[in-house]
Chains A and B, each alone.
Chain A
């Protein structure tokens, strides 16, 4: 693999993100909404405003306590329990939307963007192997999406700890759940999102088609979020590890599929 080529394409694509105001705005707004506005709003309203526990929230809390409640959690006050539930379970699934949305937005554009700008032909006419092209496109999405996710994680951490410290008198973030999420689940989810979107992007003719198809990847995250809110299941440590391993297996299958369809002629004919 020619590293200079991979570096050149990746660098160009990442620079392009900064050149597109709309894309840049999306990539800034997503973490700001999910990792700044939502946690600030939720934690502040629980701890600092007269929080009124309605029947639904009470039901959710009861399910949470019955399923994951340990001695430490049960010893918390009602407000602390709610913050703990929000930070470690609801916020965790909301956080996963950041890598999924950012990576989808970037990766969906990877091949189809070159097609729409009529530059894919230039790349395919050049001495670039299809593998180098795919690796470059995956890296062009992974590097910014992973960086944004890490920044979002740090941002959430600061917000959560600043708002909750006066009540808990200790740093509640990151918990072991969060550490596993960041080190295991996040890279797996990112790779899955990128591989799927890059594959779709290499097969369709317009960016709109790519985003429509690639957007499906958000659904499992929404399902996880609904699971947390409804109390159907909770993103416990064991579930995080199982999910990471399962996605790892799916990624391997996807990689094999990409290697199979990783054909220059097919790529070219798909753009005609």
Chain B
């Protein structure tokens, strides 16, 4: 479990983290979201004990990174934005080197990971000749070598093509499911994380401005419910029984109600003279919520 309470950090009078607080339960995949320069990378570095916070309290599985950094680093895997690989070495040499560093005895794990991340064919090529996506996949393999109980991933999908993104994210989800690994993913590519993370924390100007699961955040930031209805009713004058609506293609209309109780009222009225084949609530996606959270903060 990761607990961060009112952590602040400055570099040369520039405040990077400002009383940031959040919690990540054991086995959770948490998305740490925020724009570039929000303090995500600094937070990961502080959590791993490589830089010291100016103030605040942190607990990682009961350890304090300031005093027990070494114990934390033994059980954490990190993918940094720059991948941190040796370009003059090939994939096997890179993984063998880090296996020694992390005390990995089972060398077959190197080949298993190379296979899992689709790098088996390229294992003897110098990493300097790899594409960004291949480097990212190898960096993830490196982070998973010692089967860490906590994974910090800083922009893990940067530079990956759609297939690579899908491969990495589904592997992470599966890995988390099988091993109960706690995963903290920093990203600003929101749509990729929607189906991977169990909760989200929004970081802006060094401060966590809100946290929660997607349903919790939807509940909190939903100002209206958008219904997509498959019906032969047509929207005229932009309204349907007093609710704002719009005509969509192929016998679909979109009507916006303010409360869930109003859905039955609307449908009852439509069904008097029209057929209704389906009704779906258009959920707000993570990106919409993200901008609402941030705009709320800046208002």
Which A residues contact B (CB, under 8 angstroms)?
2, 4-5, 7-9, 12, 16, 19-20, 117-119, 121-129, 264-265, 268-269, 272
Contact = CB atoms under 8 A, between A and B. Distances in A.
Nearest to A124: B50
Contacts of B48: 125
A127 B101 contact: yes
A122 B85 contact: yes
Contact of A16 (B51, B52, B84, B88): B88
Contact of A126 (B11, B52, B83, B102): B102
A121 B80 contact: yes
Nearest to A12: B97
Interface string B50-78: 11100000000000000001100110101
Contacts of A126: 73, 98, 101-102
A5 B101 contact: yes
B51 A8 contact: no
B80 A122 contact: yes
A119 B86 contact: yes
A119 to B, nearest CB: 5
B87 interface: yes
B262 interface: no
A111 to B, nearest CB: 15
Contacts of A268: 45, 50-51
B86 A117 contact: yes
A117 to B, nearest CB: 7
Interface residues of B, number: 29
A119 B138 CA distance: 14
Given A127-B70, A129-B70, A269-B51, A122 B84 contact: yes
Nearest to B73: A127
B258 interface: no
Among the interface residues A16, A119, A269, which one has the most CB atoms of the partner chain B within 10 A? A119
Contacts of B84: 118-119, 121-122, 125
Nearest to A267: B50
A8 B100 contact: yes
Given A125-B76, A268-B45, 12 more contacts: A5-B101, A118-B82, A118-B83, A119-B84, A121-B80, A122-B80, A122-B142, A125-B78, A125-B84, A127-B70, A264-B69, A269-B51
Q: Sorted from nearest, which 3 A-B pairs have the closest CB atoms?
A: A122-B84, A8-B100, A118-B82
Interface of B: 11, 45, 48-52, 69-70, 73-74, 76, 78, 80, 82-89, 97-98, 100-103, 142
Interface hub of A19, A20, A123, A124 (most chain B Cβ within 10 A): A124
A7 B73 contact: no
A134 to B, nearest CB: 15
Contacts of A20: 88
Contact of B50 (A16, A117, A119, A264): A264
Nearest to B42: A272
Contacts of B102: 126-127
Given A117-B86, A126-B101, A265 B73 contact: no
B113 to A, nearest CB: 16
B51 A125 contact: no
Contacts of A118: 80, 82-84
Contacts of A265: 50-52
B88 A127 contact: no
A125 B87 contact: no
Contacts of B80: 118, 121-122, 125
A269 B50 CA distance: 9
B78 A8 contact: no
B8 to A, nearest CB: 16
A124 B45 CA distance: 10
A128 B100 CA distance: 11
- The listed residue with most A CB atoms (<10 A of its CB), out of B49, B74, B98, B100, is B100
Nearest to A8: B100
11 contacts: A4-B103, A8-B100, A117-B86, A119-B86, A121-B80, A121-B84, A126-B101, A127-B73, A127-B101, A268-B45, A268-B51
Contacts of A272: 11
Nearest to B128: A117
Given A118-B84, A119-B85, A5 B78 contact: no
Centre residue among B80, B84, B103 by max chain A CB count within 10 A: B84
Contacts of A269: 11, 51
A9 B98 CA distance: 10
A94 B73 CA distance: 47
B49 to A, nearest CB: 8
A161 B198 CA distance: 77
Contacts of B101: 5, 8-9, 123, 126-128
Nearest to A122: B84
Contacts of A127: 70, 73-74, 101-103
